[in-house]
Structures are given as structure tokens and as C-alpha cells.
Structure 1
Amino acid sequence: MKNLNLSLAADEVLMLVGPTGCGKTTILQALAGLVPISEGQIELDNWISTSGRAVPPEKRNVGMVFQDFALFPHLTVEQNVCFHLSNTKLADHWLQLLGLDAFRRAKPGRLSGGQKQRVALARTLAHEPAFVLLDEPLSNLDAALKDSLRWDIREALKSAGIPAIWVTHDQEEALSVGDRVGILNGGVLEQLDTPEKCFSEPTSRFVAGFLGEASFLPGDLHQDQVATVLGPAPGIPINGAAGGVDLLLRPDDLSLMPSTEGNGVIDWVRYEGCSRLYAVRIAGGTQLRVRTSHELQVRRGDRVQMAITTTHPLAAFPREA
């Protein structure tokens, strides 16, 4: 990791995202005391860990939730949650709050993946950690379960008033659950901000592409307006952009209508259930992606009319050579 500097608010949920090998899990391991740091420091209210004076994991009061649940298979749900607890009142509280009361006597082998992750979370929160580290806690669950459980975990953390750092590969999960999002690339924290800011005003093309489908349309920026072949659009200059720019367009920033005299040709189409995603080639060779209702059907090779429909300012990057 290089020049990593961040702090957590009292009950903040910070999401960390980035490609495989970018350093997400290494950060969690360093915070937990499982790997040493070469420089700098990690500080909590009652301890400071440095490269020369490391605080061991058992002294840090850090809770960890893993993707593989890490439950004791020979113990019941209640025994797992109460493990090493002298006062079980908090364990009872979290068993009830997380919907596990009916499974107190069950062994982990009888539970679903979502129930196992709730047990792991209940165990962590029952020990009253100073902060919680979550390492891709939903990656082993099916998509439908992920959608509900992510909110259950967030609400449990907020209810406990415990800050958390949550590592995920799921950009949608990061944007919807996090109070802030950190995007890592090659050991560097490229951006750390609110989900809205990271998505709408990314500080680099990497962040723009990593957080969602990104297309770039050449244009000219003058007085917060970008002139393009698809018409004008409001723009926000990124990294000092001026004059010739590349305008960041998401699939929802565009409209598409069939037209024999249109300004674009369909390269490909993907059916998504309630929507369709189209790749459209416009004059000059630029390919743009646009998402429409599933009811609109055009085929590869059809000519269509494209337009920029968004009213919010779009990120304008310095034009690439």
C-alpha cells in the first residue's frame, strides 16, 4: 500500500473496492494485526500500532466477519455466538435482532448460507468490538440473498453504533451500502468519497470504469457546457479539463429510438430482464452504451437516433491523445 491515510466516523460503514490484488484484504489484515506495517501507524482510542511497536491482534478489540463464516461446526448457534463471553445478554440481543432465536440449538451444518453469516455477525457484535472488518461477507451467497442480507448487516452495524470497513468485489453493493467508498488500484487509494461523488465525479478514468459502465464521448467544454455530436450537455471539469474533453456517459444518461435516418448503428444488444443494454456506434467510431426498457427492441445493425437526456452535470476529463 502507498500513502494510505483514512479515518472512520463513529458509526461509519466504509466500503473498499478494487480489482483482485489491489490491496483490499491486506488493509484488513494490517488493521487486525495479522500482517505488520512497514511505516506509519494505526491508531484507536486506547492504542497505537507502529512498525516498531506492533499491538497484537488480541489487544486490538477488532471484530472480523469472513466470507467463509468461520463458525465452529461442533457448537450450536448459541454456543458460537457466546464463545468466550462471560455476559450473554448481548448475545441474546443479537440472536433476536438478527432473526436467529429459533436456531439457538441448531448446529451450523443445518443452516443456510445467509443464516450462517448472521450467526457470524451476531458473534462479532456480541463481543462489543471497537470496529468491525468484513472481508467479502456475501461473496458465497446467491444474488437474491445478497440483496437483503447486505441491508441487514448495515442496519445491525448502525444499531450497534460500531464503525466498519467492508471489502467487496461488488460495485453495486459498495455504492448502495457504504457511507463512503474507497477505490483501490495497484495499492493506491485513487478516490475516497461518498458513493454519489465517486460515481458522478470520479477522479480518474479507472474509477469511472470500475464503478459502472462508462463510455467517453469527445466534446468541447466551455463555461460548464460540453458541445458534442449528440448535442450539448452540462459538464464538470475533472483534473483541470478545459477545451477538448472526453465526456463520461453512463447508460442511463442517453436515450435511443429506432430511426432509419438515425445517428448511430447497433453493435450488440444484451437482454437484462426488465431492461436491455445496447452498444451503439456513432459517427467518428465512438461506441456508447445505453440502457432502455425491455419493451424497446432493435437489432444488431439497425440504425437508431441517440441523444443525451441527462440534466445533471457530467464529468469531463482532459481528452486523451
Structure 2
Amino acid sequence: MLSVSNLSVDYGSTRVVDKLNLALADDEILMLVGPTGCGKTTILQALAGLIPISEGEITLGAWSASAQKPVPPEKRNVGMVFQDFALFPHLTVQQNVNFRLKDRALADHWIELLGLGALRHAKPATLSGGQKQRVALARTLAHEPVFILLDEPLSNLDAALKDNLRWEIRNALKAAGVPAIWVTHDQEEALSVGDRVGVLKSGKLEQLDTPETCFSEPSSRFVARFLGEASFIPGHLEQGRVRTAIGDAPGTPVDGATGAVDLLLRPDDVSLIPVADGGGNGEIAWVRYEGGARLFAVTLDDGTEVKVRASHETRAEPGSRVQLAVITTHPLAVFNRE
């Protein structure tokens, strides 16, 4: 099990990572997300031993690293997968995966499992982005690391490739049975692939939990906004239900919220019906076509803006009147009124 206790990293007088605590099960995938500059890549570099830590301890199996007793990268047996693939251009797929490897059977195993068998003798210049990333992953797994760090491995790929490849990588990591920390800027990727999600803000973990909990029960407004479209509407919480201008909903208080509160709404928690003759309870501010759906921003009569996702068959132009209603039946996060 990988264990990180009170890990801090300073760049000069600036603290970039502040008292990070986490533990990973033997085959767990943790997704780290957060805005640019929040410390995601710094955490990976510290875990790999590429930069010194200022405080805390990293423990995995036979070794334990601290500021006073650092462990060099070559002694940690960590595998790393980068966004730029880091393949040797003059070597074939087989040679890249075999590089500095004693047991060639392991290379063959991962080459076949990741669908690279027909490309053994190809060089990186002839491969697609997705194929290059599979080669990089096969090389990492063939060396039997005790844990794996992935630094935005899909960021350089076309959107069409990302969906399938994220599941190929997840399945390969699960087959290898090693813990992995995967840094991404893609919230959908984080929520769909990870066993748990860690949301970082200014070097600190705002929340570390299952994807569903982080999304539906965020620990702060920051987490709520970062993991998808979030609208907050005023309401009153009493006996587990929140009364709002567009209907009632069951509520889960955050930090003891009670009385006058703000209710977190996701775009799918609300229905939208166009109305005529000046009726309704809001006005369309803007609309975005998403293919299978449309995302509407609606300004309610009290001035609150609510985002609503509806079928692509629902049509309403900016300036037109609509009727919104809360339709969810599951509890929604409730925050103290700002």
C-alpha cells in the first residue's frame, strides 16, 4: 500500500504542496484534478523522487522516504507515463518495451494485451498518438513497478481517441494490480476512470473521495464548481427538504448548513419548458448546442442564474420565457448562504 503522510513541498519560500495525506490500496486508481498551478505535477515528481520534499513521509513496501532520509528514484521502482510518450524514436515498439528489461516474456505479455502485436517492428514515427501511449504504458508495466504515476497521459490525443484509450489504460492498470495516481485536467475523465478522486486547490486537498461523492456531495463550493456545471439558488432548509423558487428538493447539509441556504443544482436536476405570453419563472440568457442536448443558462425572476441541460429537441432562444422546476429525487448538497 502506498502511504503519504503530511507531504509538503516548498519552492524557495513558496509552499506548493501543503500537508498532503493519502493512502492507496494495492490496485487502486486515484485521479488528481485541480486548476493549473495547484501542485498536481509537483506531487507526482515528489512521489517519484525527482524533487526533494520539505516535510512528511512517503512509504511503500520496503522503503520509506522523508526530507531527512530521501530515497533516490532508481530505488523506488516507480513507473511513469507522460503526456509526450517519451519513446526512443530510433527503436521499434518491441525494443522500446524491452529497453533495460531482463524478462522479455513480460514485454510480450503487455504488447499483446495492449493490442500492439502487429506493430512490434514499427518505429514511433509511424504510430498514431493512441498507439504511442499504449507503447509507453506497455514499457512501464513490463518493468513491474510497485506503483505508477500518470501525468496527463491523454492530453495530447484527439478527443475521439481519449474515451476508448482511457478505458484501455484503466483495464491494464487493474490487470497489473498496482496502485496508480493519474493527473488530469479532464473532469469527465477523472469521474469516470478513478476509484477515487482528489481535488486540489493551492497545494491542499479540498476533497478525497469516490467520484460520485465528490460530484454529488462536494465538500465546498470550489469542488462543486470544479467538477462540472454548478448553479446555486437560494432556499430554506427545514427537516431535510429545501424550499426554493422553482420547487422543493431533499437536501444534504454541508458544514452544518441550516435555515437560509444555497442549494447546489446540476444541469440535469432541473426541467425546462418554454412558455408563451410572458409566463414562466425565468428568461433564457444563452444557449449552447451540444449535439444530443442543449445547455441553457436561465435568469430567474429573482436574478439567480441556473444552468439546465435539456434534450436537443427543446428549442428556446435567448430572451424567451421558460418555466423551470427541480425534478431530482436524490438529496442535493446544501451550503450556508453566502
TM-score (norm 1): 0.99
State the Cα deviation string for residues 226-275 of structure 1 (Å, max 9, x = none).
01111111000001100010000000000000112111100000011110
Query: Out of 84, 88, 110, which is 2:104 matched to?
Result: 88
Percent of aligned positions that are identical:
72
Please give the alpha-carbon distance, in whole angstroms, between the structure 2 residues aligned to 1:44 and 1:303: 59
Aligned to 1:230: 246
Counterpart AA for 1:264:
G
Please give the alpha-carbon distance, in whole angstroms, between the structure 1 residues aligned to 2:274 and 2:320: 8
Aligned to 2:28: 12
Please give the alpha-carbon distance, in whole angstroms, between the structure 2 residues aligned to 1:90 and 1:170: 31
**What is the CA-CA distance between 1:318 and the residue it aligns to?**
0.5
Aligned to 1:56: 72
Aligned to 1:140: 156
Aligned to 2:309: 291
Aligned to 2:215: 199
Query: Out of 323, 327, 330, which is 1:305 matched to?
Result: 323
**What is the CA-CA distance between 1:278 and the residue it aligns to?**
0.3
Please give the alpha-carbon distance, in whole angstroms, between the structure 1 residues aligned to 2:181 and 2:204: 17
Query: Is the aligned partner of 1:319 residue 2:337?
Result: yes
Aligned to 1:256: 272
Aligned to 2:294: 276
Counterpart AA for 1:247:
L
- 1:20-39 to structure 2, matched below 5 A, reads 20-39=36-55
Query: Is the aligned partner of 1:215 residue 2:231?
Result: yes
Please give the alpha-carbon distance, in whole angstroms, between the structure 2 residues aligned to 1:147 and 1:113: 13
Question: What is the aligned residue count?
Answer: 320
Please give the alpha-carbon distance, in whole angstroms, between the structure 1 residues aligned to 2:179 and 2:107: 19
State the Cα deviation string for residues 28-61 of structure 1 (Å, max 9, x = none).
0000000000011110110010101100000000
Aligned to 1:166: 182
State the Cα deviation string for residues 100-124 of structure 1 (Å, max 9, x = none).
0000001100000000000000000
Please give the alpha-carbon distance, in whole angstroms, between the structure 1 residues aligned to 2:224 and 2:110: 38
State the Cα deviation string for residues 173-194 of structure 1 (Å, max 9, x = none).
0000000000000011000000
Please give the alpha-carbon distance, in whole angstroms, between the structure 1 residues aligned to 2:143 and 2:227: 34
Please give the alpha-carbon distance, in whole angstroms, between the structure 2 residues aligned to 1:86 and 1:161: 21
**What is the CA-CA distance between 1:284 and the residue it aligns to?**
1.1
SS at match of 1:241: coil
SS at match of 2:135: helix
Aligned to 1:46: 62
Counterpart AA for 1:315:
A
Counterpart AA for 1:36:
P
Counterpart AA for 1:287:
E
Please give the alpha-carbon distance, in whole angstroms, between the structure 2 residues aligned to 1:230 and 1:106: 60
Aligned to 1:266: 284
Query: Out of 177, 182, 190, which is 2:206 matched to?
Result: 190
**What is the CA-CA distance between 1:301 and the residue it aligns to?**
0.6
SS at match of 1:75: coil
Please give the alpha-carbon distance, in whole angstroms, between the structure 2 residues aligned to 1:289 and 1:218: 15
Please give the alpha-carbon distance, in whole angstroms, between the structure 1 residues aligned to 2:93 and 2:125: 10
State the Cα deviation string for residues 137-188 of structure 1 (Å, max 9, x = none).
0000011100000000000000110110000000000000000000000011
Please give the alpha-carbon distance, in whole angstroms, between the structure 2 residues aligned to 1:59 and 1:200: 40
Please give the alpha-carbon distance, in whole angstroms, between the structure 2 residues aligned to 1:72 and 1:99: 20
Please give the alpha-carbon distance, in whole angstroms, between the structure 2 residues aligned to 1:86 and 1:189: 39
Counterpart AA for 2:247:
G
**What is the CA-CA distance between 1:65 and the residue it aligns to?**
0.1
Unmatched segments (≥5 aa) in structure 2:
1-16
Please give the alpha-carbon distance, in whole angstroms, between the structure 1 residues aligned to 2:99 and 2:196: 32
Aligned-pair Cα RMSD in Å: 0.5
**What is the CA-CA distance between 1:86 and the residue it aligns to?**
1.1
Counterpart AA for 2:297:
A
Please give the alpha-carbon distance, in whole angstroms, between the structure 2 residues aligned to 1:206 and 1:24: 16
Counterpart AA for 1:75:
L
SS at match of 1:216: strand
SS at match of 1:298: coil
Which aligned runs of 4 or more in structure 1 are off by greater than 3 angstroms?
Answer: none
